[in-house]
Structure 1
Amino acid sequence: MADEAAYRQWRESAKTVNAIAADSSLALWEKARKVNQACAGLALEGLQSKHRHKALAAFGKVNSVFAKYTINSFDDYKQMSDGDLREIVTAVRALVPPKAK
Structure 2
Amino acid sequence: YDPCHDGAVKQVLTSGRFDEFVANAVDASPRAEMVYLDKKLVLRADDRGVDLIGAFHAAGRTVDTYTVRRVNLFSRRTITRLLALQADQITTDDPERLVARFA
Normalised by the length of structure 1, the TM-score is 0.27
Higher helix proportion:
1
Q: Which has the higher contact order (CA 8 A, sep 6+)?
A: 1
Q: Which has the higher strand share?
A: 2
Superposition TM-score, scaled by structure 2 size = 0.27
